Amino acid sequence: MNRLDSELAPVPSRTADAALLFLRVAASVLVLIVHGLPKAMHYTSQLAAIEDPLHLGKTLTLSFAIFAEVLCPVLMIAGIATRLAALPIIVISLMALTLVHPEWTLDQAQFAWMLLILFGTIVIGGAGRYRVTWFSRTPANRRA
């Protein structure tokens, strides 16, 4: 096999699964630490400061943000309902870009764009093999 063939060869399944594990854990920890935990720990001050672009009420808006940025990352770290859990973060990022901060330049919006790219990739790729439900299966029932 020449060098070009080896570079174009499919990625082994276990390598792709390890990459999906790294992606979902790293992205989830980032959202949890940078956005989720500060919102949950400083609920009252966040409630006064949060934008309400859909006019649903600040309490509901902040509750959805905490759900998206605390509970959903925890589910993704565990690999539980990964694709579904990534969607609220995508919604929050799209709302930030289009409704809350439409004046942002690309430079100012780079974190929101990065979240869209990371969690969009998670929606496409899923959890991969390494997730809580995989470890609970018997070795015979695990994917080879």
Give dist(CA 16, CA 111) in Å, integer.
Answer: 25
pLDDT-based confidence at residue 8 (cuts at 50, 70, 90): low
Are 111 and 27 spatial neighbours (Cβ–Cβ below 8 Å)?
no
Over range 67-89, report the average pLDDT.
Answer: 97
pLDDT-based confidence at residue 32 (cuts at 50, 70, 90): very high
Q: What is the pLDDT of residues 94-124, one digit of tens each?
A: 999 999 999 999 999 999 999 999 999 999 9
**Residue spans per domain, the chain:** 19-139
